Amino acid sequence: MTRIIDGKAIAAAVGNRVREDVAALAAAGLTPVLAVVVATDDPGATWYVRAIGAAARRLGIGCHVHDLGPAASAAAITGLLAELSSDGRVHGIICQTPLPPAVPPGLAAQQIAPIKDVDGANPQSLGMLAAGMPGAFPTATAAAVAEILDHEGAVLEGRRAVVVGRSTVVGKPTALLLLARNATVTICHSRTEDLAGVCREADSLVAAAGRPKLIGAAHVRPGALVIDVGISSVGTTGGVAGDVDTGTVTGIAAAVTPVPGGVGPVTTMQLMRHTADAARDLAG
């Protein structure tokens, strides 16, 4: 039997811990504040910003949305991020993507101070993570994958983990977190030969390619834990699909995350956790 992992339940458990942390900080006179910088009218981004605001409200975290509009200049975005980085009332900062095409990739994220970079967007945060240095946050999505594997009791130490996708948002930071848990990690990408054969070595398989149904029965070792990060729009009615063809891996995988309802809700809660942690760290 293949278990369908309940991402919403894991998110609720993370949320309960964050709520307790936030209450303790509030008792000491500190309310964590997350600043969300938006320079897009992308519907997915709009939906996510609303979800972040709702989660923050439920947990007692302040959430300030700074909407600069989709035509914002690079100077306006970088200027605001630099200002928020030095604003003592702000503890966490995220800059929603996509950014306007005129903004050079990576430029905006570099303005976010690593101690407030709660979605691991600054390349410096990724470098600190790679170097095993404290004080940097992984992306919320990578943290969510690790949280789900921990929650499921995945044995990572000494075992094989395969991550499909090498982006700086998901693939690379996820691989680093699994490496930090002493897994033997392989990263696959669009040029990988024999993807199915490499994936079949995995005790824990993380799919983050953004290719619906890329991962099927031929990719999954019997008893593997499969984490599906992919979210692709399908059809014309707002449906989404993951990277895993869940029907074909059922009966082979030990457990698999659904899409939606798997990694997504845990990601939002990890962002809240990072914001509370940043507030505590900044307060010393």
Contacting ligand NAD within 149-178 (CB under 6 A)? 164-167, 169-171
Token pair, residue 66, equals 């700074």
Token pair, residue 171, equals 């693939």
SS3 content of the chain, % helix, strand, coil (to 5): 40, 15, 40
Among 84, 103, 108, 208, indicate the residue that binds ligand NAD (CB under 6 A): 208
Among 133, 190, 223, 283, indicate the residue that binds ligand NAD (CB under 6 A): 190
Identify which of residues 50 and 89 has a Cβ nearer to ligand NAD in the complex.
Answer: 50
For residue 258, the 8-state DSSP code is -
Identify which of residues 25 and 145 has a Cβ nearer to ligand NAD in the complex.
Answer: 145
Q: Please give the C-alpha separations between residue 190 and each of 93, 164, 208, 209, in angstroms, as whole numbers.
A: 31, 9, 11, 8
SS3 240: strand
User: Residue 228 belongs to what H/E stretch?
Assistant: strand 225-228
CB of 168 to ligand NAD, least distance (A): 8
- Region near ligand NAD per CB under 6 A, out of 105-113, 125-133, 176-184, 204-212: 204-212
125-134 own/partner pairs: CB under 8 Å, 24+ apart: 126/168, 126/172, 126/173, 126/176, 129/173, 129/176, 129/177, 130/176, 132/180
Contacting ligand NAD within 93-152 (CB under 6 A)? 141
Nearest to 110 by CA among 89, 90, 127: 127
By CB under 6 A, tell whether 257 contacts ligand NAD.
Answer: no
Token pair, residue 22, equals 């936030």
What is the contact mask toward ligand NAD in residues 209 to 248, using x (rule: CB under 6 A)? Answer: xxx--x--------------xxxx----------------
CB of 76 to ligand NAD, least distance (A): 25
Among 264, 273, 275, 276, indicate the residue that binds ligand NAD (CB under 6 A): 264
Token pair, residue 239, equals 């449906």
Identify which of residues 191 and 222 has a Cβ nearer to ligand NAD in the complex.
Answer: 191
Among 3, 57, 58, 189, indicate the residue that binds ligand NAD (CB under 6 A): 189
Identify which of residues 39 and 208 has a Cβ nearer to ligand NAD in the complex.
Answer: 208
Q: 263 Cβ partners below 8 Å, 6+ apart?
A: 7, 141, 144, 145, 148, 227, 228, 229, 257
Nearest to 270 by CA among 7, 4, 88: 7
CB of 213 to ligand NAD, least distance (A): 11
CB of 284 to ligand NAD, least distance (A): 31
By CB under 6 A, tell whether 258 contacts ligand NAD.
Answer: no
Identify which of residues 30 and 46 has a Cβ nearer to ligand NAD in the complex.
Answer: 46
Q: How many residues bind ligand NAD (CB under 6 A)?
A: 25
Chain residues binding ligand NAD by CB under 6 A are 141, 164-167, 169-171, 188-190, 192, 195, 208-211, 214, 229-232, 263-264, 267
